[in-house]
Amino acid sequence: MKLSHLIASTATDAVIATGVATPHANAWENDYNAATNTCTITFSDQDQSNVNNAYRELFELMAKNSFAALSNPKDAKLVQEYALDPATKNAALLSGDGKVSSAQTKYFFNTMTLGVKDHPDYIRAIAFANLSKKPVITEQTLTMTPEEAHEDGGVMYGVDLAGVIAASAWTGVTEGSFVGVRDLILETAKENYPRFGGPILTYSQAFEACANKEDANGSTVAGSNLTGDQFSSIGIAGGVIGLILIAIMGFAARPFVDQFVANLGF
């Protein structure tokens, strides 16, 4: 299964429901060339900022969730601050601070001490911390065919999950590599969708336009400060969660996704 799949028109419906306008002057554009069967997708500076900030926040949150599971909260806080510091390019490397490096070493080798098993949570936290440092939109102009957009476009386009999957497989902390990472993302998405759902989901519209061989433009919205209950009250929470599920699991899972969202009570 591909890590990313196109999500269809529900994304547009969700954005319309928010009443967000899409000014052409500061918007993504998709230009389809029928003669060459290729699309040129261009993202604005604001699109790039909204999307990259949303993914950074999502994966930072997932790292924090894993750090919170570690024993000795004081040491966990030291390591978390180091790992998520923008100046730290690779959180897996030992800090130059003796207290931090000592805590890092303890967590890495702590496979079972006094009934505490920190190693898997530490490895997972570091993997997500490093993932949060990787921008999703690195190039503002993309060229692809509609077939490529359909197969590889969508909310996971540009997300490098290799490190997290490898960490999960290595530690055996989750059931299967891809499935385990997917479930971690889904759990965090379900609980925190207002903070990043808008930019991540509207990001996929550009790929949808390409897959449909359409000339189109729009804007990626910024993250919301609404609470989960407030977001649900405007009627798009279920759509957001459903889209994230479909994007990660693929179209074949649509019946399961619909039932899952219905059970959430949105």
pLDDT category of residue 224 using cuts at 50, 70 and 90: low
Q: Each residue of 169-197: pLDDT tens digit?
A: 655 544 445 556 666 666 676 666 667 76
Predicted TM-score (pTM) of the model is 0.71
The more confident residue out of 262 and 169 is 169
- pLDDT, position 170: 56
- pLDDT, position 77: 97
pLDDT category of residue 263 using cuts at 50, 70 and 90: low
- pLDDT, position 180: 61
3-state secondary structure the chain: CCCCCCCCCHHHHHHHHHCCCCCHHHCEEEEEECCCCEEEEECCHHHHHHHHHHHHHHHHHHHHHHHCCCCCHHHHHHHHHHHHCCCCCCCCCCCCCHHHHHHHHHHHHCCCECCECCHHHHHHHHHHHHHHCCCCCCCCEEEECHHHHHHHCCCCCCCCCHHHHHHHHHHCCCCCHHHHHHHHHHHHHHHHHHHHHHHHHHHCHHHHHHHCCCCEEECCCCCCCCCHHHHHHCCCHHHHHHHHHHHHHCHHHHHHHHHHHHHHCC
